[in-house]
């Protein structure tokens, strides 16, 4: 299969392909998503096959607006309305009770809920609006690999497996959306992102919890990225918790080092990738760093700077811990 690269003027062609049951990757402000018509179960199953993704992992339903989402939920509760008014379009996904029979089991994982998102990207808004129906939108990468933040990343992983990629340049945020579960009594963030529980709580006027484990119903995770290893390059990743410990990590041609400029300026390392100058920049650059070293066959180990856990670093550390499978560098005394 030829994988075409689409620009703004090619949106009608991409819409036609989606209607035919083909897969088309699309841009968002977070990462690139892999689109298929959400109401076409065969097409949705093709997403799992293209990614090599476990089929019990539910998919986000990507909509053009609140009106489109309303066709697939039992109702839009007051909580959801508040968040829509404040954060949509944007990097927020909401889990709500789904209207029975409105979405295939391949989308919901067989759960009575579904996850909905309206991304802040003009090309994708035009795509879904012209399609007139929602698309599923998991990250457009091979399962377990770092999520794609450029069309080139998508092409590297999925060329020949999907019909097209809508290229809108590098993404603005670089980490996937915050996922909040509104189907439960007390709202809870199942996946941290740029929008923090504190910000959500301020809008809702109530406390928003942060999930500390894996939210699973009948063995099925309620949100993407909760049950399996994610965001991992081929080489093992180690989290370096203290800046001073970068002086003790191995050195050599087969070692990759990922850290803020303030750390890289102080150490001797042959293969460096800058996370920038702040935690916010680090979150934006993390997946790019992991992909950079994943494309270098000689790299056997990757050491990445960790940050003290807090609201501002929650999304970064969530992704880094999964990519490292929880492995931290331990200095030998």
- The reported pLDDT for the residue numbered 292 is 97
- The reported pLDDT for the residue numbered 54 is 72
Pick from 307, 301, 308: nearest CA to 324: 301
- The reported pLDDT for the residue numbered 227 is 52
- The verdict on 75 and 191 lying in the same domain is yes
- The verdict on 153 and 288 lying in the same domain is no
Structural domain contains residue 54: yes
Q: What is the pTM of this model?
A: 0.92
Domain CATH number, residue 298: 3.40.50.11030
Residues of the chain where predicted confidence (pLDDT) is lower than 50: 228, 333
How many structural domains are present in the chain? 2
- The verdict on 123 and 22 lying in the same domain is yes
| Cβ atoms 250, 79 nearer than 8 A | no
In the numeric block, the tokens 């990468």 are attached to 141
Domain range for 189 is 4-221
Mode of pairing for the β-strands spanning 92-97 and 113-117:
antiparallel
Q: How far is CA 260 from CA 21, 175, 214, 315, in A?
A: 43, 17, 30, 17
Q: How many Cα atoms within 13 Å fall on the side-chain side of residue 15?
A: 17
- The reported pLDDT for the residue numbered 222 is 73
b/e map of 280-293 (b: 16 or more CB within 10 Å)?
eebbbbbbbbbbbb
């Amino acid at each position: 299969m030829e994988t075409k690269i689409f620009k703004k003027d090619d949106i009608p062609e991409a819409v036609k392909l989606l209607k035919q049951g083909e897969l088309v990757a699309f841009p968002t402000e977070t990462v690139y998503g892999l689109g298929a018509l959400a109401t076409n179960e065969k097409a949705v199953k093709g997403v799992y096959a293209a990614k090599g993704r476990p089929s019990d992992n539910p998919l986000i339903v990507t909509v053009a607006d609140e009106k489109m989402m309303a066709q697939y939920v039992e109702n839009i509760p007051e909580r959801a309305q508040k968040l829509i008014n404040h954060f949509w379009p944007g990097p927020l996904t909401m889990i709500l009770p789904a209207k029975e029979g409105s979405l295939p089991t391949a989308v919901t994982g067989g759960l009575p809920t579904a996850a909905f998102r309206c991304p802040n990207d003009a090309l994708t808004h035009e795509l879904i609006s012209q399609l007139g129906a929602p698309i599923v939108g998991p990250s457009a990468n091979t399962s377990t690999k770092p999520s794609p933040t450029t069309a080139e990343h998508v092409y590297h992983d999925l060329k020949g497996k999907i019909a097209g990629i809508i290229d809108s340049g590098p993404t603005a945020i670089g980490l996937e959306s915050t996922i909040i579960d509104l189907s439960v009594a007390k709202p809870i963030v199942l996946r941290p992102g740029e929008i923090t529980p504190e910000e959500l709580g301020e809008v809702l006027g109530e406390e928003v919890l942060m999930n500390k484990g894996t939210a699973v119903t009948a063995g099925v995770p309620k949100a993407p990225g909760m049950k399996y290893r994610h965001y991992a390059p081929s080489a093992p990743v180690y989290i370096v918790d203290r800046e001073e410990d970068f002086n003790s990590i191995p050195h050599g041609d087969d070692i990759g080092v990922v850290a803020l400029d303030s750390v890289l300026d102080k150490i001797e390392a042959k293969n460096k990738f800058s996370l920038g100058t702040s935690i916010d920049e680090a979150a934006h650059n993390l997946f790019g760093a992991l992909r950079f070293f994943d494309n270098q066959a000689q790299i056997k180990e990757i050491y990445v700077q960790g940050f003290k856990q807090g609201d501002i670093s929650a999304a970064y550390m969530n992704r880094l811990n999964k990519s490292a499978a929880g492995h931290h560098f331990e200095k030998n005394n």
